[in-house]
Structure 1
Amino acid sequence: MTDHDWPSSPSDSELEELDQFLRAHGGDEDLLLDGVHGLLTALAIGPAPAKPEEWLPDVLHEPFTDPAEGQRVLQLLAHLNDSIAPELETGAYEPILGEVDDDDEGSTVYTARGWCEGFSRGIDLRASAWESRLGQDTQLMELLGPIIALAIDDGVFEADAEFAELSDEEYDECLAHIPSVVAAVADYWRNHPPSAEEQRAAQDAAASRRPGMQRRRGGRTLH
């Protein structure tokens, strides 16, 4: 596939349209746009691709009442999903982040909480392969370091050991590292694909996962 054959990234207006739909149709624990992007990113760079019917239950939680609207939302989700790999190839990938008000500064700052929540759910969809490899290869854990630090700091992951809270500078530094971490993890799985045993375990887990069921983690996205 040549560069000009790659899907373009969604426009700002398309992202806004999808964001508004997710906000209007989601509950407190459901993924918003940043979370959906994290979910799709984890699947795009992980050990095995996922079909839409595997990840859509983590994004859409009720039937469409308007068929035309439903088709449009599915098109937007497909566009977002299909744009991730080309962005990684061209170095254009950037995470979609949430925003929170900084009461101390009176300004708006970025948060990775929603993105990390979605990323963790993407890992959950291929948990057997991820957990098997993380238990055998410390390189993968090291590559994920900045994302893990953000997830712990934002309360998405619970850590066995006590971690010091990230300073504002450390948090921003971890945010800045997300694109390079995502690219490095994609390269890792490309160069160290899952074994036959890991593939079988992932397939068995995918087959046993019932539509509409999803693993919850503590906390919700802040916007």
Structure 2
Amino acid sequence: MNTPKSEWPSSLDDAELEVLDTYLRAHGGDGDLMLDGLHGLLSAIAIGPLEVKPEEWLHEILHDAFEDEDEGNRLLALLAKLNDSISAELDVDAYEPILGEIDTEEGPMLSAAGWCEGFSRGIDMRAQLWENRLAEDPTLMQLLGPIMALAVDEGVLQADAEFEKLTDEEYDECLGQLPDVLNAVGEYWRQNAPTEDELAAMTRPRVDGDEGPPRQRSGHWVH
């Protein structure tokens, strides 16, 4: 089902995305998520095994107190709207990843690096659940394959074995699969909800030594 962009439920328009983009660039430092990373973070949360409330993920995005109350309320409303839009867009086959732009010898090129970094941080919000299931069920790792390939290609994740860079065609193919991947992973967690033991493990402190399991491109970008 392909729904026209103008009919996407709860989606931000270009002007609203520009407001978020401008704010994040003005207030972000090295290592902070920009608009593409924010979208990746919220995408991981939307399909994850357990709810992550806004008061948790907002700390990954907002690092300074708002100087103006009206501006703060506007930004919070846009963040909530973007968060709500992801599940809605996935439901109607209208999801596109928000990508960043990098400069290359051939000129500007869209990159999934920021989106992948944000997605990784979204997983980290419920790290023990993801890590436990990834270690025990190869199905989940297989479903995440295209995201893993992009993340390793962009240096967001480290591969255990030597990894050959994706060709442009392979990179585009992985990007094109993202909506299906997100839907499949979301369905996986709906069908295989965390067990009582997995939920109980979240309340236990991690022990030192605990380990988890181990770039003209399609997508949506606002400059």
Considering the TM-score relative to the shorter chain, is it more than 0.5?
yes
Match of 1:129 in 2: 129
Runs of 4+ deviating beyond 6 Å:
none
TM-score (norm 2): 0.85
TM-score (norm 1): 0.85
Match of 2:44 in 1: 42
Q: Give unmatched runs, 5+ long, in structure 1.
A: 1-5, 209-222
Selected match of 1:58 from 57, 60, 74:
60
TM superposition shift of 1:201 = 3.0
For residue 99 of structure 1, give the secondary structure of its aligned residue in structure 2: strand
Q: Which amino acid aligns with 2:85?
A: S
Match of 2:154 in 1: 154
TM superposition shift of 1:168 = 1.3
CA contact (8 A) 1:7 1:79 kept: no
Q: Which amino acid aligns with 1:129?
A: L
CA contact (8 A) 1:23 1:32 kept: yes
Match of 1:110 in 2: 110
Match of 1:144 in 2: 144
Match of 1:216 in 2: none
Q: Which amino acid aligns with 2:193?
A: P
Deviation readout 1:170-195 (Å, 9 max, x if unpaired)? 11111111111111111111111111
TM superposition shift of 1:77 = 0.4
Match of 1:3 in 2: none
Give the share of equivalent positions with the same residue, in percent.
61
Selected match of 2:34 from 12, 32, 35:
32
For residue 110 of structure 2, give the secondary structure of its aligned residue in structure 1: strand
State how 1:1-223 maps to structure 2 within 5 Å.
7-104=9-106, 106=107, 108-202=108-202, 204=203
CA contact (8 A) 2:10 2:82 kept: no
Distance 2:91 2:197 in 1: 29
How many pairs are equivalent?
199
Q: Which amino acid aligns with 1:45?
A: I
Higher percent of residues as helix? 1
Match of 1:218 in 2: none
Distance 2:10 2:54 in 1: 19
Q: Which amino acid aligns with 2:80?
A: A
Q: Which amino acid aligns with 2:169?
A: E
Q: Which amino acid aligns with 1:99?
A: E
Aligned-residue CA RMSD in angstroms?
1.6
CA contact (8 A) 2:9 2:89 kept: no
TM superposition shift of 1:36 = 0.4
